[in-house]
């Protein structure tokens, strides 16, 4: 499940393969995507913005992808076998020495410079938790706009902070002992900043490429609560609960013993 750490790591891996290189061939699954116009253009930069990946071209346009739940970018040497079905390839970019393939994205767009500046989602993104510097005052300001929203929904709102997905949502709220049903307005500034800081810390720790973890133990269990509904909490022994939150009914896992309302 791609979250902020996955996209940051993907951008870091694609950057040396693509940045400064000319696209020799390009093809897209959807005829509406003008892949042919990419040929001959050079990729100026590859950037991660929360859960969005941006490939900036030398003519001012940008390839924007959001991987959603099941998408991924792969890279292969020319002639190497692909790890996924070619029918799932939404975009294929060939540059000297590499073939980069976007599989099953939620969003794939080619944006003009003006469209990028006015993009309804990208322009609303909150501070990226994996940026070199995060403005804490801006994080608090954005949280406080949503004082009536349960924190389990707010931390997933990419216009507040960018990069937290469903796994980190449950894990970070557990680590900060925050009940997911508590509204933002019921939480102190210190608690909100603790949630953002803890998320930033674990997103950064998981940039290694190993399976994502928020827990280190010899029992092999990498996560505290996510995906453990009905099982005993590692800390207090109470049964992990599952709650669906928000308009999309995203699953939140939490411990009623450790995360008291």
Residue 105 designated active-site = no
Q: For the beta carbon of residue 31, count every other beta carbon within 10 angstroms.
A: 7
Structure tokens at 174: 């557990």
Q: How far is CA 184 from the centre of its chain?
A: 22
- Backbone phi, then psi, for 35, in 5-degree steps? -60, -35
Residue 3 designated active-site = yes
Residue 231 designated active-site = no
CB neighbour class for 101 (10 Å; exposed up to 12, middle 13-18, buried from 19): buried
Active-site residue among 13, 51, 81, 239?
Answer: 51
3-state secondary structure of 33: coil
Active-site residue among 3, 150, 180, 228?
Answer: 3
What distance in Å separates the CA atoms of residue 173 and residue 119, rounded to the nearest whole number? 30
Active-site residue among 41, 213, 222, 250?
Answer: 250
Structure tokens at 164: 């937290």
Structure tokens at 190: 């210190």
- Backbone phi, then psi, for 123, in 5-degree steps? -75, -20
What distance in Å separates the CA atoms of residue 24 and residue 96, rounded to the nearest whole number? 7
What distance in Å separates the CA atoms of residue 259 and residue 135, rounded to the nearest whole number? 27
- For the annotated catalytic residues, the residue numbers are 2-3, 51, 250
């Amino acid at each position: 499940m791609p979250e902020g750490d996955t996209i940051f790591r993907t951008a870091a891996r694609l950057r040396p393969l693509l940045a400064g290189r000319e696209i020799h061939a390009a093809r897209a699954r959807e005829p509406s995507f003008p892949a042919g116009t990419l040929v001959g253009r050079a990729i100026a930069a590859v950037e991660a913005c929360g859960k969005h990946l941006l490939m900036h071209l030398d003519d001012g346009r940008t390839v924007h992808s959001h991987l959603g739940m099941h998408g991924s970018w792969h890279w292969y040497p020319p002639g190497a076998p692909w790890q996924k079905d070619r029918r799932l390839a939404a975009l294929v970019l060939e540059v000297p020495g590499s073939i980069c393939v976007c599989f099953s994205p939620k969003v794939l767009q080619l944006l003009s410079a003006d469209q990028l500046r006015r993009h309804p989602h990208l322009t609303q993104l909150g501070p990226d938790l994996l940026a070199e510097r995060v403005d804490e005052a801006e994080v608090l300001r954005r949280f406080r706009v949503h004082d009536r929203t349960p924190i389990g929904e707010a931390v997933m709102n990419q216009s507040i902070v960018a990069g937290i997905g469903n796994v980190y949502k449950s894990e970070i709220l557990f680590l900060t002992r925050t009940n997911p049903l508590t509204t933002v307005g019921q939480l102190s500034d210190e608690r909100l900043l603790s949630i953002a800081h803890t998320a930033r810390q674990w997103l950064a720790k998981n940039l290694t490429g190993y399976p994502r973890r928020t827990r280190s133990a010899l029992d092999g269990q990498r996560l505290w609560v996510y995906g453990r509904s009905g099982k005993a909490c590692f800390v207090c022994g109470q049964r992990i609960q599952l709650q669906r939150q928000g308009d999309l009914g995203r699953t939140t896992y939490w411990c009623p013993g450790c995360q008291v309302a």
